[in-house]
């Protein structure tokens, strides 16, 4: 997926990252949360792993918020938070590997720097009274990068 016209807004670059993940071999990708009323796909009593994608805002990089241009056009830190959820640690690790392969070192647009993994961790949660395997495994990964994309 390439960008054709310049400049692109911060939101358009975020959409591009989301579309990259959606077009991958990941089974289910949603922005922020499962849609209302939606349930993860199931396979033989287990949920098929799914990915939640969240985008952070833009944080100043320069000390005392004083860059060489206006605050609107300064370079900022931004974050992409990914949560992979599934019925087994093995499935979650496989999907997490796909996410890492796609995003680590990825430059989503010329106005952005490389994305780099800055934080990750895993967890397990018991979900009682469920019609699928009652434990959900998950891994959260946060990627950070620099951006000077135009703000709407």
Integer angstrom CA distances of residue 104 from 8, 63, 129: 22, 26, 37
Class of 10-147 per CATH?
A: alpha beta
Here the tokens at position 87 are 């019925």
Nearest-CA neighbor of 58 among 117, 7, 13? Answer: 13
Residue 12's DSSP bridge partners are: none
> Using one digit for the tens of pLDDT, what is the confidence trace for 88-144?
899 999 999 999 999 999 998 887 889 999 999 988 888 776 676 678 899 999 999
In tens, the pLDDT along 16-28 reads: 899 999 999 998 9
- For residue range 36-46, list pLDDT tens digits in order: 877 777 888 78
């Amino acid at each position: 997926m390439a960008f054709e016209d310049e400049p692109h807004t911060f939101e358009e670059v975020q959409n591009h990252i989301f579309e990259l993940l959606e077009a991958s071999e990941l089974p289910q990708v949603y922005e922020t949360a499962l849609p209302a009323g939606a349930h993860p796909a199931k396979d033989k009593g287990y949920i098929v792993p799914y990915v939640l994608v969240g985008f952070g805002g833009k944080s100043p990089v320069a000390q005392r918020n004083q860059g060489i241009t206006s605050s609107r056009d300064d370079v900022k830190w931004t974050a992409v938070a990914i949560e992979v959820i599934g019925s087994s640690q093995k499935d979650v690790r496989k999907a997490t590997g796909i996410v890492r392969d796609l995003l680590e070192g990825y430059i989503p647009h010329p106005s952005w720097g490389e994305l780099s993994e800055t934080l990750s961790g895993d967890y397990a949660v018991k979900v009682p009274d469920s019609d699928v395997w009652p434990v959900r495994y998950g891994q959260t990964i946060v990627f950070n990068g620099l951006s000077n994309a135009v703000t709407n």
